Amino acid sequence: MNKALLILASAAIVSLSLTAGHTSEMPRPPRVSFVATSASQLQLGMTADDVIHVGKVAKDTNSRNGSAEIRKLEFADPIPGQVVLSDGKVSRVTLDPFRTDKAALPSGIRRAWPGFASSAVQLALGRPSVICHYAFFGIEVDQWIYAHLGEGEASVFFRDNRVIARVPGRDVPDDLFEVHLPLPPQPDGKAPASAPRVGMTAHDVRELYGSARFRVDYVRNGQPASREVYETKGFFVAFTFVDDVLTEMETLGPISDVSFLQGF
């Protein structure tokens, strides 16, 4: 009798394991691809009218930061992007080559910011309802599933203990390891580029600004990345590179005390 119960229990466990396996599809292998994006036409200092003529705006929000008027424009391009304007001028252009948000998310899960460590996510969201562990293509991945009251289920995925994706529900995204980088911007003429644009290489940017004042290297979802700060004519600008390709640029303005940039 005990032997029969043991066999039945073992069969039930196998059945549960198979069911759990079927709820999570295998993602595609890691891949980096280059795609054309209208964001490569954007430059720091552009006006709102210039930006709107570049591409279709999916979302437009306004706010204030002290005396400064802030406007955020989100583009539904092949690579999701956001443009921030301060007092009518472009102060930041950001692309998300990792497509961290795979679909519309419950509001609560958005506090698990891309790049957050698991300890920070737990502080922000609490303990998950379910934790799953995977090994895809030799890559260790953790999935935390949350079921907040009234919001439905949502998942946060970690690689090397850092947030790499957020999705509604509990399915594993098929593009979990895919990266979409912008193609180099098309030259306007024979003259060399005079302003940074997404899609440029780090070498292109250094040709414009010289050596970086500060630099931080890191890894994001298996891809080498860096954040670099340059000084030009008393102003500071910051750039983010993924696989040596410019994906974000930001005007920091004049800074009297640059010591805080040491850990930028």
pLDDT digits (tens, 9 = 90+) for 164-184: 999 999 999 999 999 999 999
- Is the distance from CB of 142 to CB of 118 less than 8 angstroms? yes
- Is the distance from CB of 93 to CB of 198 less than 8 angstroms? yes
Query: What are the beta bridge partners of residue 145?
Result: 130, 155
What confidence category does residue 255 fall into, taking pLDDT thresholds of 50, 70 and 90? low
- Measured CA to CA, the distance from residue 114 to residue 130 in angstroms comes to 20
- Is the distance from CB of 199 to CB of 245 less than 8 angstroms? yes
**Measured at the alpha carbon of residue 200, what is the angle toward residues 28 and 93, in degrees to the nearest 5?**
85
Strand order in the sheet with 68-75: 57-65, 68-75, 81-86, 89-95, 245-253, 235-242, 223-232, 214-220
DSSP 225-236: EEEEEEEETTEE
% residues pLDDT > 70 (the chain) = 84
User: Phi, psi at residue 89, to the nearest 5°?
Assistant: -120, 140
- Measured CA to CA, the distance from residue 264 to residue 259 in angstroms comes to 10
- Tell me the pTM: 0.81
Amino acid 190 reads K
Q: Residue 98: name the closest of 205, 222, 200 by CA.
A: 222
Summarize the confidence of residues 19-32 as an average pLDDT: 71
% residues pLDDT > 90 (the chain) = 54
- Measured CA to CA, the distance from residue 220 to residue 163 in angstroms comes to 9
Domains of the chain by residue range: 32-98+180-263, 100-172
Q: Which two tokens stand for residue 83?
A: 């443009």
Higher confidence at residue 124 or residue 77?
124
Q: What is the CATH number of domain 100-172?
A: 3.30.1450.10
Q: Residue 204: name the closest of 148, 244, 231, 161 by CA.
A: 244
Q: In this model, does residue 19 exceed pLDDT 70?
A: no
